[in-house]
Amino acid sequence: MEQEKENNAQHFLDLIQKSRKGKFKVYIGMSAGVGKTYRMLQEAHSLLKNGIDVKIGYIETHMRKETHELLSGLPVIPRRTIFYKGKELEELDVQAIINLRPEVVIVDELAHTNVEGSKNEKRWQDVLEILEAGINVISAVNIQHIESLNEDVKRITGIDVQERIPDNVLRLADEVVNIDLTSEDLIARLKEGKIYTSDKIQTALTNFFKSDQILQLRELALKEVASQVVRKVESEVPNLHALRHEKLLACIGSNDKTAKIVIRKAARLASYYNGSWYVLYVETPKESSTRIALDKQRHLINNFKLAVQLGAEVIKIENKNIANAILMAVEEKHITTVCIGKPHLNLFKVILSTTIFRRLLNSLSLSNVDLVILS
């Protein structure tokens, strides 16, 4: 009875805290130039006309004439000036926003990395701080900056995007709006000089702005917004939840590249199924802390951090038998799906060469646990 009272009180407290936070709206697009900033400024004008206290916290117009003109008439909060390596740079002034307490603040470039010495390393952290202060935020980000899509974006574009936001930041959004354009329309905008200056157009056309790449990025953006809608519906209408709550176990080894792929793809699966997930690393005797190479140890730590950032709980088990360790974790955490890398990779080289792997498959099958091989 006492426990039930505590749970009810905690639930009510959570509701109160949630109601005190600002609402978060994110415009997402497949690439630069689709019109995210333009749309945010249009919305700011609309809010202002309706008597809402809206202010510009940070907008990057990229010298696009149409976008820049929309800034006219909108109240702007001055940026914070920072001197870094002899240069005067400007950043979002989080404290000024919190002090002024507008009803809505527009903050562009959600994936931006702040200048060294700033309170927060990333702008998305600034936004979370503003939301915690009870201020509503409208922001924007491109699909290639979503952490769990990093491998997919790299495969499509050949670019390893460095500025990324954790998937969880996007999940915190109360509304996610996709600004969609056909590849033809986007390329036409580029050729008309509406995205970059004339000296950069040809380079853009031969690199990032290729029709096939744009189509694939567009598909990623559409899928992301669709999955956001599904999650929102499921969270708000409990009866629509699946019969079983998905719990995923992503198994990684010390191979850095493979581990990142498994972690990011497992994060996508967990997000799609609106389930919880874990990352399991089995430390065998040959990879004990006294025997593992320092670079592998560093990669492991970074991958553990990545997993936590993407919303996973990390499990580390010392066991000479990887299959047994996996089965133990499956039973303890009530796992519904086990995710592993390609069988020829280092993590499962040992168990695949023996009958133990067959035992793992049989045990998972008997337990009604799915096995997914990620590549």
Mean pLDDT of the chain: 86
pLDDT band of 347, cuts 50, 70, 90: low
Residue 7 lies in a domain: no
Check if the beta carbon of residue 264 is closer than 8 Å to that of residue 299: no
pLDDT band of 14, cuts 50, 70, 90: low
pLDDT band of 242, cuts 50, 70, 90: very low
pLDDT of amino acid 27: 95
In this structure, are 155 and 299 located in the same domain?
Answer: no
Q: What whole-number distance in Å separates Cα of residue 192 and Cα of residue 184?
A: 12
In this structure, are 123 and 253 located in the same domain?
Answer: no
User: Domain with 140 in it: what CATH number?
Assistant: 3.40.50.300
User: Domain with 363 in it: what CATH number?
Assistant: 3.40.50.620
Please measure the distance between the N-terminal and C-terminal CA atoms of the chain and give it in whole angstroms.
Answer: 49
Q: What whole-number distance in Å separates Cα of residue 11 and Cα of residue 5?
A: 10
Residue 325 lies in a domain: yes
In this structure, are 324 and 278 located in the same domain?
Answer: yes
Which range of residues forms the domain containing residue 294?
Answer: 243-373
Residue whose entry in the numeric block shows the structure tokens 């086990």: 338
pLDDT of amino acid 366: 74
Check if the beta carbon of residue 141 is closer than 8 Å to that of residue 175: no
Helix (H) or strand (E) holding 258: helix 256-272
Residue 208 lies in a domain: yes
pLDDT band of 345, cuts 50, 70, 90: very low
Residue 330 lies in a domain: yes
The residue among 127, 215, 135 whose CA lies nearest residue 170 is 127
Q: What whole-number distance in Å separates Cα of residue 167 and Cα of residue 147?
A: 6
pLDDT of amino acid 20: 80
For residue 222, count CB atoms less than 10 angstroms from its CB and return exposed for 0-12, middle for 13-18, buried for 19 or more.
middle
In this structure, are 55 and 182 located in the same domain?
Answer: yes
In this structure, are 94 and 225 located in the same domain?
Answer: yes
pLDDT band of 344, cuts 50, 70, 90: low
Mean pLDDT of 358-375: 78
Residue 3 lies in a domain: no
Domain boundary among 178, 206, 235: 235
Check if the beta carbon of residue 107 is closer than 8 Å to that of residue 130: yes
In this structure, are 139 and 170 located in the same domain?
Answer: yes
Residue 14 lies in a domain: no
Q: What angle do CA 45, 220, 62 make, to 5 degrees?
A: 40
Which pair of tokens denotes residue 87? 């240069």
Tell me how far CA of residue 295 lies from CA of 154, 290, 299, in angstroms.
23, 13, 6
Mean pLDDT of 284-298: 86
Q: What whole-number distance in Å separates Cα of residue 228 and Cα of residue 245?
A: 18
Check if the beta carbon of residue 196 is closer than 8 Å to that of residue 207: no
Instruction: Quote the longest CA-to-CA distance of the chain.
Output: 72
| Domains held by the chain: number | 2
Count CB-CB contacts under 10 A for residue 251. 24
Q: What whole-number distance in Å separates Cα of residue 120 and Cα of residue 125?
A: 6
pLDDT of amino acid 223: 87
Instruction: Report H helices in 111-253.
Output: 123-132, 150-157, 167-171, 183-191, 198-206, 211-236
Domain boundary among 193, 217, 235: 235
pLDDT of amino acid 117: 86
Which pair of tokens denotes residue 340? 């592993």
In this structure, are 215 and 252 located in the same domain?
Answer: no
pLDDT digits (tens, 9 = 90+) for 70-98: 999 999 999 999 988 888 999 999 999 99
Beta bridge partners of 281: 252, 316
Residue 316 lies in a domain: yes
In this structure, are 214 and 315 located in the same domain?
Answer: no
In this structure, are 109 and 226 located in the same domain?
Answer: yes
Q: What whole-number distance in Å separates Cα of residue 25 and Cα of residue 180?
A: 16
pLDDT digits (tens, 9 = 90+) for 152-172: 999 999 989 999 999 989 989
In this structure, are 63 and 212 located in the same domain?
Answer: yes
pTM over 0.85: no
Whether the per-residue pLDDT at 307 is higher than 50: the answer is yes
Q: What whole-number distance in Å separates Cα of residue 19 and Cα of residue 267?
A: 28
Check if the beta carbon of residue 53 is closer than 8 Å to that of residue 103: yes
Q: What whole-number distance in Å separates Cα of residue 269 and Cα of residue 371?
A: 13
Which pair of tokens denotes residue 177? 């709006």
Check if the beta carbon of residue 33 is closer than 8 Å to that of residue 186: yes
Which pair of tokens denotes residue 368? 């009604």
Q: What whole-number distance in Å separates Cα of residue 224 and Cα of residue 228?
A: 6
In this structure, are 291 and 223 located in the same domain?
Answer: no
Whether the per-residue pLDDT at 316 is higher than 50: the answer is yes
Q: What whole-number distance in Å separates Cα of residue 146 and Cα of residue 117?
A: 24
In this structure, are 89 and 171 located in the same domain?
Answer: yes
Domain boundary among 174, 205, 235: 235
Residue 194 lies in a domain: yes
Mean pLDDT of 312-338: 91
